[in-house]
């Protein structure tokens, strides 16, 4: 998948694609299928910054950073990604003008969107308008129904609620993959190493939603190799800490190699173990870490992406 810098005839879809959950994946699969049938490129348009952050809450933290979202989209077989700037001009743009961008500037021959898609100034554009505009430009529109589970519709807002309740397995079921965190390993306070449990410390962007502070069983990818891990997310209160920056601190029981400082790693959450807490002594902390490691269950690591 490449970033589209020069327009080309394509099958296009548009959306925030914050979680790229099972519903999004079904939509993208239809885009790539139709593109292959028509013999033209497949493309998805996303916005930066996140529309909700721009319009309502500047501190809004999406499920995945732009880098993480790009990583997920690479596995969808899309040919191109269009990153369109979300600005004040766009929010005031008449829907007909945005259609010109879609069908003329980016040469969409087929536009595929969800059934509730709205766009343009005041969200006045809808699928009925898209049908008329597509015909004007000699293009077509296809509507894809919302994907559902046995009990509920799949939505980013629902996934966010599950993650915020530490419901990791339920989050994975709706995403269709394990919720993960990218980061570069940085030096920490070396407390874990002094206790016999060296850790990999990463500091995720504040522009990313994290689950509640606590300890999680994880799977960590380092240089293409997967390791089981025990991960603490939070302020690392330990014994006498006064940290105000949330971190993701992981111990790999099965890793015995060299230092991994500066390495880019992927931490995938498997299960919530316990809340984060402060300990009365270093020895109490050491005993608890040993207990946490024993809680790690065996997972199949063949599906490491």
Residue ranges covered by each domain of the chain: 2-144, 178-294
| pLDDT of the residue at 290 | 78
Cis peptide bond prior to 273, omega within 30° of 0: no
pLDDT digits (tens, 9 = 90+) for 195-252: 557 889 999 888 899 999 999 999 999 999 999 999 999 886 555 555 667 899 999 9
Task: Provide mean pLDDT across the span 107-111.
Answer: 97
Sheet holding 180-184, edge to edge: 180-184, 264-275, 214-222, 225-234, 247-251, 199-202
Residues 178-294, CATH architecture: Beta Barrel (2.40)
The fourth-level CATH superfamily of domain 2-144 is HUPs (3.40.50.620)
* Residue 222 bridge partners (DSSP): 225, 265
CB 49 within 8 A of CB 19: no
**C-alpha to C-alpha distance for 218 and 232, rounded to whole angstroms:** 10
pTM above 0.85, yes or no: yes
Question: CA–CA separation, 111 vs 35, rounded Å?
Answer: 11
Average pLDDT over residues 55-75: 91
Query: Which bin fits 223, alpha (ψ -120 to 50), beta or left (φ > 0)?
Result: left
Average of per-residue pLDDT across 180-186: 95
Q: Do domains 2-144 and 178-294 have the same CATH topology?
A: no
pLDDT score recorded for residue 295: 75
Per the model's pLDDT, the better-predicted residue between 164 and 276 turns out to be: 164
**Banded model confidence at residue 302, pLDDT cuts 50, 70, 90:** very low
Residues designated catalytic: 249
- Of the chain, the percentage scoring pLDDT greater than 70 comes to 89
């Amino acid at each position: 998948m490449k970033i589209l810098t020069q327009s080309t005839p394509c099958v296009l879809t548009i959306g925030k694609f914050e979680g790229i959950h099972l519903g999004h994946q079904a939509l993208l699969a239809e885009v790539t299928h139709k593109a292959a049938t028509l013999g033209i490129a497949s493309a998805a348009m996303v916005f930066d910054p996140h529309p909700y952050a721009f319009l309502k809450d500047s501190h809004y933290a999406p499920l995945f950073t732009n880098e993480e979202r790009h990583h997920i989209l690479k596995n969808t077989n899309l040919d191109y990604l269009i990153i369109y700037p979300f600005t004040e001009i766009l929010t005031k743009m008449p829907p007909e003008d945005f259609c010109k961008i879609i069908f003329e500037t980016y040469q969409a021959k087929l536009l595929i969107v969800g059934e509730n898609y709205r766009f343009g100034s005041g969200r006045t554009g809808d699928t009925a308008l898209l049908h008329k505009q597509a015909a004007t430009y000699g293009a077509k529109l296809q509507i894809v129904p919302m994907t559902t589970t046995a009990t509920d519709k799949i939505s980013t807002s629902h996934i966010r609620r599950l993650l915020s309740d530490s419901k990791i397995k339920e989050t994975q079921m709706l995403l269709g993959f394990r919720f993960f965190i990218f980061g570069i390993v940085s030096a920490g306070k070396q407390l874990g190493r002094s206790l016999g449990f060296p850790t990999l410390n990463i500091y995720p962007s504040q522009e990313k939603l994290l689950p509640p502070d606590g300890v999680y069983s994880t799977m960590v990818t380092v240089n293409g190799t997967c390791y089981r891990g025990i991960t603490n997310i939070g302020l690392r209160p330990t014994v006498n800490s006064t940290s105000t920056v949330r971190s993701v601190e992981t111990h790999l029981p099965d890793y015995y190699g060299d230092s991994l400082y500066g390495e880019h790693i992927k931490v995938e959450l498997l299960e919530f173990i316990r809340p984060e807490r402060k300990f009365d002594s270093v020895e109490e902390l050491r005993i608890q870490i040993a207990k946490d490691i024993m809680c790690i269950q065996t997972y199949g690591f063949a599906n490491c992406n």
